[in-house]
Amino acid sequence: MSNATTMVGRSVRVSSRQVDAVLTSLMLPIMLMLMFVYLFGGAIDTGTKYVTYVVPGVILLCAGFGAATTAVSVSQDMKNGIVDRFRSMDIGGAALLAGHVAASVARNLASTVLVLGVAFLIGFRPRATLVEWLAAAGVLLLFILAISWLSAAVGLLARTPEAAAGFTFFVMFLPYPSSAFVPIDTMPSWIHGFANHQPCTPVIETLRGLLLDTPVGSAPWQAVAWCGGILFASVAVSGVLFRRRTA
């Protein structure tokens, strides 16, 4: 357990010094938010002010993209000799990966707060009660956790950090065919099936409903099921992959 704490400290410290990566994972969602709100927003009719509609989607994009960079850091560790060093010190893959995931969670909660701050400046006015804020934070945390572990598994699978970086793009584009930026019913009908039943949509709908104090329906349960499922599968797969990669 104390090893895991040390590993978390390591990952947090390392990621706080990756200035370019930190800036990218912050600037990208903020730029996207400004672009959507000021450039595209005028043409999109969502029934509310567009900034109100889009902020939950931007938060999810930010968290997902930030969490996905876990794949790159895990893959870097696998490539250089540090994993062998840790294993020869009897420190297992679980502590190492947990360190990366915990750092990812810390990093992304911080950047979410910043994105929310900017959103507030440009006119986002959430109407959530304290309980709703906590529930939204909980769902977002679960989402970050799930994507981080999934990314850790991808990082173990990728042969190079460059290949792992490709995964961050996949995660960054996943929110587009969802209800993040435009309502799904404005999309062509053939994409409805996917957009309605991919993990981003229930997470976004949950965040949106909780922050704006509107009905959420079954979205929270779907979100928890998706994230829980991804989390469970990723942890299991990571264990197997770590053992295989280091055999």
Partner 1 sequence: MFDELTVEAYGLEKSYGKLKVLDGIDLRVERGSVYALLGPNGAGKTTTVRILATLTGADAGRARVAGFDVARQRHRVRRTISLTGQYAAVDDLLTGEENLRMMARLTGLRRGRARRRVAELLERFDLAPAARRRVGTYSGGMRRRLDLAASLVGQPSVVFLDEPTTGLDPRSRQAMWAVINGLARSGVTVFLTTQYLEEADRLADSIAVIDGGRMVAEGTAAELKAKVAEQRLDLRLTDRPAFDAVAGYLGTRAIQADPARLSIGVATDASAGHIRAVLDDVDPRRTAVESFAVHTATLDDVFLALTGHVIAAEKETADV
Q: Is 18 in the site for partner 1 (CB under 8 A)?
A: yes
Answer for the pair 60, 200: CB distance below 8 angstroms, yes or no.
Answer: yes
Q: How far apart are CA 213 and CA 101, in angstroms?
A: 31
Min dist CB 122 to partner 1, Å, is: 33
Q: Is residue 121 part of the contact set for partner 1 (CB under 8 A)?
A: no
Structure tokens that stand for 213 in this block: 């104090």
- 90 torsion bin: left (phi>0), alpha (psi -120 to 50), beta (else): left
Among residues 35, 49, 84, 240, which is the contact residue for partner 1, using CB under 8 A?
Answer: 84
Does position 192 bind partner 1 by CB under 8 A?
Answer: no
246: contact with partner 1 by CB under 8 A: yes
| CB-nearer residue toward partner 1: 93 or 202 | 93
Size of the site for partner 1 (CB under 8 A): 22
Q: Kindly report the backbone phi and psi dihedral angles of residue 90, in degrees, each rounded to the nearest multiple of 5, phi listed first.
A: 70, 35
CA distance 131 to 150: 28
Please report whether residue 1 would count as binding partner 1 according to CB under 8 A.
no
CB of 191 closer than 8 Å to CB of 212:
no
The CA-based dihedral angle spanning residues 130, 226, 22, 207, taken in that order and rounded to the nearest 10 degrees: -30
Stretch that binds partner 1, among 81-89, 112-120, 135-143, 224-232 (CB under 8 A): 81-89
Q: Per CB under 8 A, which region of 80-88, 116-124, 135-143, 164-172 contacts partner 1?
A: 80-88
Q: Which of 20, 90, 121, 131 binds partner 1 (CB under 8 A)?
A: 90
| 87 forms part of the interface with partner 1 (CB under 8 A) | yes
Q: How far is the CB of 76 from partner 1 (least distance, A)?
A: 10
Residue 82 found at the interface with partner 1 (CB under 8 A) = yes
DSSP labels, 153-166 = HHHHH-SSHHHHHH
The alpha carbon dihedral of 138, 142, 53, 189 has a sign of negative
Sign, Cα dihedral of 2, 6, 12, 16:
positive
Applying CB under 8 A, among 1, 39, 43, 89 the residue interacting with partner 1 is: 89
Q: What distance in Å separates the CA atoms of residue 114 and residue 237, rounded to the nearest whole number?
A: 33
Of positions 86, 143, 226, 242, contacts partner 1 by CB under 8 A: 86
Chain-centre distance for alpha carbon 149: 10
| CB closer to partner 1 out of 11 and 178 | 11
**Closest CB 16 distance from partner 1, rounded Å:** 9
Shortest spacing between CB 67 and partner 1, in angstroms: 19
Question: Where along the sequence are the contacts to partner 1 (CB under 8 A)?
Answer: 2-3, 6, 9-10, 13-14, 17-18, 80-82, 84-91, 246-247
